[in-house]
Structures are given as structure tokens and as C-alpha cells.
DNA sequence: CGGCTTTGACCAGCGC
DNA sequence: GCGCTGGTCAAAGCCG
């Protein structure tokens, strides 16, 4: 499986819960432990979403397929969570029933079309709701950067 | 100069 | 059909 979820790194904020949007119902929220198995978690989310019907609203101007979606609730003073990937902001909108605007980000990798939305919780401003849409089709740059010295060492040792 | 953010305009879905 | 709302576009400006 080369489609990995946003990996946990040492400086990443640990989500306190995640939500699986499952239309037509509202978000289904589950508390998670800090040592969560991210691969199986996101795999479950992908499986759940693939079988679902279309969700409310326009998915995109050109894209017709519905990508998998998963939302993380993170208690953090920072809006932008460092998940190891590079993101470019392409929009911000004020949303109804919330004083906090919603920010829209796209993965900057040219072949990757993953998007994420970031919004502060309407009732608890200390909670950041990050919604990922789609799965990255490339490795995490930051993770590969931190692993490359280790990989080089392993290659060196394996030559003996 | 390239990459990024900001921000107003635009578009499409939905409910009435 | 119309208005509201959420999502996206794209020009302008900022920054390293």
C-alpha cells in the first residue's frame, strides 16, 4: 500500500478525535487514543466512503468522483497542523452558524489532488476541525527527509 | 522570481 | 425561479 495517510511525526499535533462524514447523517464522531493505528483508521474511512452516495454540495468544477473524506478534531492554538505534507491555500469562506471562517487547502504536489478544510469548532474555539478529502498518491516529503539518513545507513550496513 | 496567501467574484446545488 | 450557501477561481500583493 503506497497510499499512506498523513503520518505522525514528532512535531505534529495529536488529534483528539476523528469524524467520518456519513451522509445523510451528521458527522459520526469517535474518540481515539494517542497511539492510533493511522493506516487502518484511514483505510476504514476510505472503505466507508467509497460505498456511500454523494455528499451535499458541489465536489468540484471538473471532478465528478467523490474522494474519501475524514475529519480530525485537534486541540491546538494553531490553525494549520503540521502533517508533513505541503499545502497551498486556495480559499477562505465564512460559514453559517460559525464565527470562524473555513480555510481551503490543496496539496502542492503536482500529481496529488488531495484537499483539506480547516475550521475552528463553532462551540470550542480551541478545537481545530481538519477535514481531509482524498488520499495522497506520493510519500510524505517531511517523513522521507527525516528517514533518508536512516535509509542510507541501512543500505550501507546491508552491503556487508 | 517563484511560491504562497488574501480576497472578491463566480458557479452550482439545494430548499422554499 | 430565486435566494442562500458552500466550494473554487484567479488576480493582486506579499515574502524570502
Task: Give the pLDDT of residue A25.
Answer: 36
CB of A60 nearer than 7 A to strand B: no
Residue extents of the structural domains in chain A: 23-49+64-158
Kindly report, residue by residue over A100-151, the tens digit of the pLDDT. 899 999 988 878 888 999 998 877 778 888 888 888 777 776 666 666 666 6
Phi, psi of A117 (to 5 degrees): -115, 140
The protein footprint on chain C, as nucleotides within 7 A of a CB, is 4-10
Instruction: Provide the whole-model pTM.
Output: 0.68
Q: What are the tens digits of pLDDT across the range A48-64?
A: 433 333 333 344 443 44
Give me the architecture of the A23-49+64-158 domain, per CATH: Single Sheet (2.20)
**pLDDT reported for residue A5:** 41
Amino acid at each position: 500500500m503506497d497510499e499512506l495517510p498523513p503520518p505522525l511525526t514528532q512535531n505534529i499535533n495529536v488529534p483528539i478525535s476523528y469524524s467520518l462524514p456519513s451522509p445523510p447523517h451528521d458527522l459520526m464522531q469517535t474518540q481515539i487514543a494517542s497511539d492510533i493505528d493511522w493506516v487502518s483508521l484511514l483505510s476504514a474511512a476510505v472503505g466507508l466512503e467509497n460505498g456511500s452516495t454523494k455528499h451535499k454540495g458541489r465536489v468540484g468544477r471538473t471532478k465528478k468522483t467523490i474522494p474519501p473524506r475524514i475529519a480530525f478534531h485537534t486541540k491546538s492554538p494553531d490553525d494549520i497542523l503540521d502533517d508533513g505534507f505541503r499545502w497551498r491555500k486556495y480559499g477562505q469562506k465564512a460559514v453559517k452558524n460559525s464565527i470562524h471562517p473555513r480555510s481551503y487547502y490543496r496539496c502542492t504536489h503536482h500529481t496529488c489532488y488531495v484537499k483539506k478544510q480547516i475550521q475552528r469548532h463553532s462551540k470550542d474555539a480551541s478545537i481545530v476541525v481538519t477535514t481531509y478529502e482524498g488520499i495522497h498518491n506520493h510519500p510524505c516529503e517531511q517523513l522521507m527527509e527525516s528517514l533518508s539518513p536512516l535509509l542510507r545507513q541501512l543500505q550501507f550496513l546491508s552491503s556487508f
